[in-house]
Structure 1
């Protein structure tokens, strides 16, 4: 449940809303080139990681 001042963020993969505090506490985010990407679940994070590695093999 959202508390006062809790911010909603959008899952980069699915486009669903999730609480920023929940995503950060669970490690469901990636910082890439100064930008933070949030995810609603580990599966979305894994899909993002796989796509990012495929498009940036030297990363």
Structure 2
């Protein structure tokens, strides 16, 4: 496995690290938005909040 990994350019590894970091941050942001949205008292307000926040991540 290490012999094959030596032939892969370093840029591929850095791209994979950056992509995984971005996905991790986006997933954490979704959790925070759901938590914040669940604190809304009125159901229509909660739904509007979650719809608005989810559009920001797309």
TM-score, length-scaled by structure 2 = 0.35
Larger radius of gyration: 2
Report which of the two has the higher share of helix.
2
The alignment's TM-score, normalised by the length of structure 1, stands at 0.35
* Bigger relative contact order, structure 1 or 2 (CA pairs below 8 A, ≥6 apart): 1
The structure where strand makes up a greater share of residues is 1
